[in-house]
Structure 1
Amino acid sequence: MSTVSSTSSDYIKALQQSSNTAASAPNQQLGQADFLRLLTTQLQNQDPNKPMDPKDFVTNLTQMSQLQSTQDLNTSMTAMLSGFQGLQTLQAASIIGKSVQANGEDLTYTQGQDAQFRLTAKTDQALTDVKVVVSKDGEAVKNISVGDLSADKTINWDGTDDNGNALADGTYKLTAYGTDSNGSIQQISTVVGTKVNSVAIGTDGKMKLTLATGEQVAMDAVREIGQ
């Protein structure tokens, strides 16, 4: 009966192993223990007639110290970032349910009450022939002429359409624009009043607020916090 040699047996076992190269690949990062092991091996195998230069030895020790310091710094920075994000979340959670003035395009209207919003003026130039289009489900229902805009201006909308008909309760979209000194059309940011429903941390690590209108805005979009 034929036998399989130890070498052949090892070869067969190797062929039967998982082909996942990522799982069997060596660690590509050099840690402190690896660095110290390399340095010790170098010392053990140096030529007695030509010992390692003391300067090289000091350089290697310095590099090892720098490596450890870098690793410690990375660990500390990760912990600080995690703590900072947690603090941000706690601070943002305190405004849930409160009224805020925030940069946004969605305006909530309730019959019998004027809906109020603010136009944010550009700091570098005044705009003329400023208009605000109020729309619902992609259809314009009201065109508001504002005139010139050189400073922030508060606008009151009574909830009527262009024909004077009262509109239903709901969320309406604002589109504001004006003409600059070069005759070009410039969009204008609108600040609306609403409530904060929830807060969350986005994939970019920044705080996101979900407003009562359903619109999501960044934390830095809030201009004023009320009760």
Structure 2
Amino acid sequence: MNGSSSSSTASSISETQDRFMKLLITQMKNQDPLNPMDNAEVTSQMAQLSTVTGIEKMNASLSAFISSMQATQALQASSLIGNTVLVEGSSTYLAATETEGESAAYFAVELPVGADNLKVNIKDSSGKVVKTMTVTNQQAGISQLGWNGYGDDGSKLADGRYTIEATATTANTTVAANTLSYEQVMSVSTGSDGVKLNLSNLASITTDKIKQIY
């Protein structure tokens, strides 16, 4: 693909040069003998050709560099396939753990400043709050939390994906609280917008959005 692109670019540059030279020769053939083109004008037009050609070559080199960088980034990102990453997200997945067999769900909340109280509502697929968790005296940064799958009414809830919402307060003043999800990297894709990681929650993110890798 890169070879084809380079060939096409070289052809474009050559065609530009040919068109310019033909135009210049035509001008010189049809010039007014009483008012011929002077050397300065010819030099100016040749300089224009040099500038256009240089820009096209620079663009070709830049395109090749970007393609090479994307290929390198995609190769590096592919090493994350199968790994769990912590990213911005508003859901968690309740499932049986490998070690204990009991269901559990894990997620996190990021606080830019400390909070006296952190409240997390967990909702089912219908939007109903099934569990409310409250944690006190949380420091700034990422707070990792877990849920055993039991609702506020004491019932064991079905495995599956649940929505999480977080609110935090300090001295009765609301502070920012961003929910984070643990998701598995399923595949890597490349496109005009760069390299993307395709996650288990069906979201696609760039690698700079990853908070932690497991």
What TM-score range do you get, normalising by the shorter chain?
0.7 to 0.9
Q: Quick check: 1:212 aligned with 2:200?
A: yes
Superposition TM-score, scaled by structure 1 size: 0.73
Deviations 1:48-91 (A, max 9, x none): 33322221111111000001111111111222222222222222
Q: Percent identity?
A: 31
The equivalent residue for 1:146 is 135
Deviation at 1:117, TM superposition (A): 2.1
**Whose strand proportion is higher, 1 or 2?**
2
Q: What's the Cα RMSD here?
A: 2.6
Residue identity opposite 2:77 in structure 1:
A
Measure the CA separation in 2 of the matches of 1:182 and 1:35.
Answer: 73
Measure the CA separation in 1 of the matches of 2:153 and 2:52.
Answer: 73
- Post-superposition, which runs of at least 4 consecutive aligned residues in structure 1 deviate over 3 A? 125-129, 147-150, 179-186, 213-218
The equivalent residue for 2:67 is 82
Specify which of 27, 52, 57 is matched with residue 42 of structure 1. 27
The equivalent residue for 1:26 is none
Task: Tell whether the 8 Å contact from 1:133 to 1:143 is kept in structure 2 after alignment.
Answer: yes
Deviation at 1:127, TM superposition (A): 4.5
SS at match of 2:67: helix
Superposition TM-score, scaled by structure 2 size: 0.77
SS at match of 2:47: helix
Measure the CA separation in 2 of the matches of 1:41 and 1:129.
Answer: 81
The equivalent residue for 1:110 is 95
Identify unmatched segments of 5+ residues in structure 1: 1-29
Q: Quick check: 1:158 aligned with 2:148?
A: yes
Measure the CA separation in 1 of the matches of 2:171 and 2:24.
Answer: 70
Q: Quick check: 1:133 aligned with 2:118?
A: no
Measure the CA separation in 1 of the matches of 2:173 and 2:18.
Answer: 68
